[in-house]
């Protein structure tokens, strides 16, 4: 039990430090982090895309957290404002969004986007991308080796999905 004001202050300071460093402390999630359901769907889509690429003997796409954040922000924007497009209403393209995030060192970039009301969005989105020649071109492009995936859900339950593709020198 602290007996002086100085001891009491030292106790409180030590107690606060212990709480901050405790593994039980509450962490505030980053604004660009997915919720757990979205993270599972993103991971399933990534695995399905790489399985599809492997079927054609293409290299797997490595997920990059910074690209995930760009893709996720675009999906959230589309879900929040109810549009589906590669260029947002302010005229920013995928390349603009990638560069605005400070991502550089790539030689080629592309984006697939889609939406679905399906209960398993990753499966339907991938089927739709495979069926679309333009989206399939991105999905199967041999030079791509990095990706970012972002998924968001609108108020009415529609899933919005964005996948970015980059070629980065190895």
Radius of gyration of the chain, Cα coordinates, nearest whole angstrom: 21
Point out the least confidently predicted range of 26-35, 48-57, 149-158.
26-35
In this prediction, residues 129-158 reach a mean pLDDT of 97
- Dihedral sign (CA 129, 60, 149, 112): negative
pTM for this entry: 0.79
User: Lowest-pLDDT range, 30-39, 68-77, 113-122, 149-158?
Assistant: 30-39
What pLDDT does residue 151 have? 96
* Alpha helices (H) in the chain, listed in sequence order: 5-21, 36-55, 65-81, 94-100, 121-131, 133-139
d(CA 129, CA 68) in angstroms, rounded, equals 19
pLDDT band at 9 (very low <50, low <70, confident <90, very high): very low
Coil/strand/helix, residue 67:
helix
End-to-end CA distance of the chain: 60
Q: Tokens standing for 162?
A: 């964005």
Residue 16: predicted pLDDT = 40
> What would the mean pLDDT of 95-102 be, rounded to a whole number?
97
């Amino acid at each position: 039990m602290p007996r002086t004001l100085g001891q009491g202050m030292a106790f409180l300071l030590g107690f606060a430090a212990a709480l901050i460093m405790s593994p039980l402390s509450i962490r505030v999630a980053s604004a660009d982090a997915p919720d757990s359901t979205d993270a599972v769907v993103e991971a399933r889509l990534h695995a399905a895309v790489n399985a599809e690429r492997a079927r054609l003997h293409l290299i797997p796409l490595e997920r990059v957290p910074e690209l995930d954040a760009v893709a996720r922000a675009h999906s959230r924007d589309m879900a929040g404002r109810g549009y589906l497009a590669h260029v947002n209403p302010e005229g920013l393209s995928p390349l603009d969004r990638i560069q605005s995030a400070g991502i550089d060192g790539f030689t080629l970039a592309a984006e697939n986007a889609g939406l679905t009301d399906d209960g398993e969005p990753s499966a339907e989105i991938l089927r739709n991308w495979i069926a679309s020649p333009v989206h399939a071109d991105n999905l199967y492009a041999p030079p791509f080796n990095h990706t970012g995936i972002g998924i968001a859900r609108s108020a009415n339950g529609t899933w919005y999905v964005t996948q970015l593709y980059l070629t980065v020198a190895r």
